[in-house]
Amino acid sequence: MKKLTTLVLIVLLFASSAHAQLRFGIKCGANASSLSTTSSIIDQVKAATSYQAGVLMQLKLGGFALQPELLYSVKGGDLRNANLSPQLAALTQNADEIKYKTQNIDIPVNFQFGRSFGPARIYAQIGPYVSFQLGAALNGDVKLYDTVDETLEFNKYDWGIGLGVGAELLGFQFSFKYDFGMNEVGKETEIADINVNPFNEMKNRNLNISLAYLF
């Protein structure tokens, strides 16, 4: 709460400047999400395509802009298995491919550094994000927080950092951004001193391409 209060005070401080420009907008785009992994249980992870949509606020002062966003974002990945743990094999009925999908509320705070060229603005951005899961499933039918084996636990939140570039013209904003998740997707589960939850050795990765309109 203290951190959120501090951020609000910073925004108000910038907004009080006569040269600051405060705008709001709507945003939508496509996700190409995947999972980084070091697990020996999983052979390969392929990217899964999905989408995101939400609202944003932009506070611009000179070449700098602060842009927090509130997004609904669908992520996941398609996993090829090698030697599944009995717990995961039972959940997925020994499927050769496991489709992992989550629905999330993402809150990124982007710090943009840009330069104007006539009516256009080109910028680079970096910033942290937090993400809270609304739901998750394996192969579309195994709801992780309803029917999952208690020996396999999943984290319902993520946090990380995003890097990207973008351009603005006539109120439209087009951007590319790559998010690096820092929190493990699953919690460590040891049986006979062996971790049987491969999701504990995975982290979220997401490339999004988006279009926004600023009012």
Which of 12-21, 68-77, 155-164, 176-185 is the least confident region? 12-21
201 C-beta neighbours (distance < 10 Å), count: 19
Query: Which among 86, 69, 63 is positioned nearest to 23, based on CA atoms?
Result: 69
The amino acid occupying position 46 is K
Per-chain mean pLDDT for the chain? 86
The better pLDDT of the pair 42, 164 is held by 164
Segments making up each domain of the chain, as ranges: 21-214
What CA dihedral angle connects 79, 81, 87 and 90, to 10 degrees? 90
Q: Residue 19 — left, alpha, or beta (φ > 0 → left; ψ -120 to 50 → alpha)? A: alpha
- Confidence at residue 138, expressed as pLDDT on a 0 to 100 scale: 86
pLDDT of residue 97: 80
Tokens read off for 110: 């982007």
The confidence score (pLDDT) of residue 8 equals 55
pLDDT in tens, 109-128: 999 999 999 999 999 999 99
pLDDT of residue 167: 98
State how far the Cα of 20 lies from the Cα of 167, in Å rounded to an integer: 19
**Percent residues over pLDDT 70 in the chain:** 83
> Looking at the domain covering 21-214, what would its CATH class be?
mainly beta
pLDDT band at 10 (very low <50, low <70, confident <90, very high): low
pLDDT of 18 over the 60 cut:
no
Q: Which residue has the tokens 């988006």?
A: 210
Q: Which residue has the tokens 């070091």?
A: 38
- How does residue 2 score in pLDDT terms, banded at 50, 70 and 90? low
Which residues, 6 or more positions from 201, have their beta carbon under 8 angstroms from its beta carbon? 37, 38, 39, 184, 195
Higher-scoring residue by pLDDT: 82, 203: 203
Residue 187: CB partners within 8 Å, gap ≥ 6? Answer: 153, 154, 155, 197, 200
User: Tens digit of pLDDT for each residue in 40-72?
Assistant: 777 778 899 999 999 999 999 988 999 999 999
